[in-house]
Structure 1
Amino acid sequence: MGLINKIFGTTTEKREAKVLPWIPLENSNQINEIKEKSLNKTQLIFKHSTRCGISGMVMNHFVNAYHLNEDDVDLYFLDLLNYRSVSDEVGYKFQVIHESPQLLVIKNGVTLAHASHGAINELDLTEFI
């Protein structure tokens, strides 16, 4: 067991969860704020379905790979199940078709990029700062 534990770790080991500076996106008024704030700072919106395994997997990968500074971007989290009407409004205001999971990059009031599923983690977010 010693060699196996060295290779794979033990089941009792706990990793510290990485916490991102999420801003909950819970009402449509915030969408206008995001648009306004995007004139000075890049805004990211991560749309996530809390019941979807694929969405969860993509989000975990996104969280683990995320390396941007709070001074560079604001990062919003939109729970699609609880705030579907807000998601619909995001799609309308930023001219994107709804997908889940989905990441939108907003700058200067417009969507510079958006991606869904595995393509989220292929975006080089540093290009949009």
Structure 2
Amino acid sequence: MNFLKNIFKETSSEESESSKEDVKYFELDKMEQFDEIDEISQSKPVVLFKHSTRCSISRMALKQFYTEFNYPEEKIDWYLLDLLNHRDLSNEIASRYNVMHQSPQIVVIRNGKAVFNESHDSISAEDLKQFT
């Protein structure tokens, strides 16, 4: 969670901070995780969020997604990719799941295949309801 806290540096209220602590995500930072993601996606959807730490649009999209994402982990998993530090993993997402690279971008994986993707201001946690 430190990654997200450092991005947002929010101190608005204890209540909003504590609700954000409940959001569970995994950092996507190793190529080996793709086999794990494909395996998990056999039983529930996996959301990959590609984020550029230098892009204000990406920061805003991530903040909105992070604030709105409230799906229980037994229904959906969320992986966050720091695009600037792991461009090779972003390239793997494009290649493996046959989606054009965008940033910011969410890609939903089911049964080892991309079934949904959105980018920029079209990113919405609400769109994920169809997968739960």
Report the TM range for the smaller structure's normalisation. Answer: 0.7 to 0.9
Greater share of helix residues, 1 or 2? 2
Structure 2 length-normalised TM: 0.83
Give the superposed CA RMSD: 1.5
Secondary structure, aligned partner of 1:115: strand
Percent identical pairs in the alignment equals 38
How many residues were matched structurally? 117
**Alignment equivalent of 1:80, drawn from 83, 91, 102:** 83
**Alignment equivalent of 1:14, drawn from 1, 12, 15:** 12
1:4 maps to which residue? none
Secondary structure, aligned partner of 1:59: helix
**Are 2:61 and 1:58 aligned?**
yes
Structure 2 portions without partners, runs of 5+:
1-10
2:73 maps to which residue? 70
**Are 2:106 and 1:103 aligned?**
yes
The separation in 2 between residues aligned to 1:35 and 1:123, in whole angstroms, is 23
The separation in 2 between residues aligned to 1:105 and 1:41, in whole angstroms, is 10
Amino acid at match of 2:64: H
Amino acid at match of 1:72: K
**Are 2:118 and 1:120 aligned?**
no
The separation in 1 between residues aligned to 2:125 and 2:73, in whole angstroms, is 20
Structure 1 portions without partners, runs of 5+:
1-12
Larger Rg: 1
The separation in 1 between residues aligned to 2:126 and 2:117, in whole angstroms, is 9
| CA apart distance, 1:14 | 2.9
Cα distance change, pair 122–62 in 1 and its aligned pair in 2 (3 A):
closer
**Alignment equivalent of 2:26, drawn from 23, 27, 48:** 23
The separation in 2 between residues aligned to 1:28 and 1:122, in whole angstroms, is 25
